[in-house]
Amino acid sequence: MAENREPQIFLFLSEILGRNIVDNKGEVMGRVYDLTAEFTEPYPIVTGIILRSIQNKNHLFLPWKDVLDMDMSISVSLGSIKELSSPNLKEGELLLKDALLDKQVVDTDGAKIRRVNDLQFLKTKLALYLVHVDVGFRGLIRRVGLIKILDIILQSLFDYKLTNQFISWKFTQPLNSPDLLRLNITQNRLSQIHPADLADILEDLDIKQRAAVFQALDIETAAEALEETDPKVQVSLINELNSEKASDIIEGMSLSEAADLLADLPKAKAEGILKEMEKDFADDVKELLSHPEREAGGMMTTSYLSFSPSTTVKEALEKIRLEAADVDLVYYAYVIDEDERLLGVISLKDLILATEDQKLENIMDDRVISVKLDDKDDTIAEQFAKYAFTAIPVVDENEKMQGTIIFKNLLEIVAPQLGK
């Protein structure tokens, strides 16, 4: 026996706007100008209608609870327009046409910026929910009232029907205003996008939108996206922030990326950010800034894993588990003596395959390829090309470990279009 299910009725904003609103005596009160909605999860719920009075053209608010039917016109339970008041939006409410129609949104599922041509609602007995954003050409044609004619022409001439292009509201992040971005119910949807895709989106936005979107991100997401963003865009975004928030974000970046960004900032701005940073991180950044950008010292990071020769595999793995989240390079671990001279290197793969009681001095590779602090980018590139390493350690004239260059950091210098 089939279950009794409530029929699904879908409506478009373009079909609702302009409809007559009729009172319980059958008289026209006005026409639909906009809808108000509360931005709840998973779907915004319509809370009322903004109507334009036919008498004096004033805008009035009609609560959704007073709507009886939505056919060719909208029937309401009220007996007079005098029962309505002026619009007064509550916290968390927005005007849908004003806030979304013709505005840009991020399709977080496809990681693209889209233009909103129409909105689709699901009507139930008690409520009206915003369920889809229409970003297709069909939505645009529907708004100008030509969709039926176009369907007939395309069907008769080409046996083709123009398809809808919907994005579920669950995958939509509005960009129009900071108010929309502050409606971060549960988790901001932008944080679900890969940092490289989010960086592309930021670069495609205008300056105001870019700043609003970036400032709406949580610290971790902002740091990840900033690392993938063009250096000029990095500078513009950080310049919009106060030193305290900027330092929080930059501390979430890798040391080498943080140093590169601070080097591009105006001196006063960079100094202000450095003062707000944790001392150890700031000191490491200052060390990197003291070296020319195209030399090993300027490309390296000082955030890496190092161990004494007598460390056991078990001890090393335990330390990696504790520190991996805060280290720029995890794939290699370096073995150094008490004077910090580089003795050998061991890969994470070798550590995992070794027995727990083995000492690193017995399994490390002592044929270490390294570069000096003042080696230039072309020399470093030759080493990467010859040995196919993921990273190369940097030592001083006494063979003391100073840092390591990750291949991606080299790319950002010699081939910036590939490094980001």
Report yes or no: 218 and 248 within 8 Å, Cβ to Cβ: no
Question: Which two structure tokens, joined as six digits, stand for 226?
Answer: 């900033």
First-residue to last-residue Cα distance in the chain: 59
- pLDDT, tens digit (0-9, with 9 covering 90-100), for 272-324: 999 999 999 999 999 889 888 889 998 899 989 999 999 999 999 999 999 88
The full DSSP string for 290-358 is TS-TTBHHHH-BS--EEE-TT-BHHHHHHHHHHHGGG-S--SEEEEE-TT-BEEEEEEHHHHHHS-TT-
- Decide which of 173 and 3 is more confident: 173
Domain stop point among 241, 256, 290: 290
Scan for tokens 């949807």, then name that residue.
189
CA 268 to chain centre: 29
82-86-92-94 Cα dihedral, nearest 10 degrees = 100
Instruction: Write out the two tokens for 158.
Output: 């080409």
Is 67 inside any structural domain?
yes
Element (H, E) at 94: strand 93-95
Is 24 among the domain residues? yes
Contact residues for 146 (Cβ-Cβ < 8 A; gap 6+): none
For 214-261, what is the HEC assignment? HHHCCHHHHHHHHHCCCHHHHHHHHHCCCHHHHHHHHCCCCHHHHHHH
The helix, strand and coil proportions of the chain, stated in percent and rounded to the nearest 5, come to 40, 25, 35
* Confidence category of residue 339, pLDDT binned at 50, 70, 90: very high
| pLDDT one-digit tens code per residue, 197-230 | 999 999 988 888 888 888 888 899 999 999 999 9
Report pLDDT digits (tens) over 54-100: 877 889 999 999 999 888 899 999 988 888 888 988 888 889 999 89
Q: Is the pLDDT of residue 186 over 70?
A: no
Write the single-letter amino acid at 377: D
Which of the listed residues 68, 97, 126 is the one where a domain comes to its end? 97
**Based on the domain organization, do 313 and 349 belong to the same domain?**
yes
- Count of the separate structural domains present in the chain: 4
153 and 51 part of one domain: no
185, pLDDT greater than 90: no
**CATH at residue 341:** 3.10.580.10
pTM of the model: 0.71
Domain enclosing residue 346, as ranges: 305-419
Ranges assigned E (strand) in 108-244: 112-115, 118-123, 128-134, 166-168, 172-174
Domain identity same for 320 and 377: yes
How would you list the strands of the sheet with 112-115, edge to edge? 112-115, 104-107, 172-174
CATH code of the domain containing 52: 2.30.30.240
Within this chain, do residues 158 and 208 fall inside the same structural domain, yes or no?
no
The residue type at 368:
V
**What six digits make up the tokens of 153?**
């022409």
Q: Are residues 368 and 392 in the same domain?
A: yes
Lowest mean pLDDT among 130-134, 181-185, 351-355: 181-185
CA of residue 280 relative to chain centroid, distance:
29
Give yes or no: residues 93 and 113 share one domain. Answer: no
Q: Is 264 a domain residue? A: yes
CA dihedral sign, ordered 393, 397, 399, 402: negative
Say if residue 266 is preceded by a cis peptide, omega within 30 of 0: no
The pLDDT value recorded for residue 20 is: 94
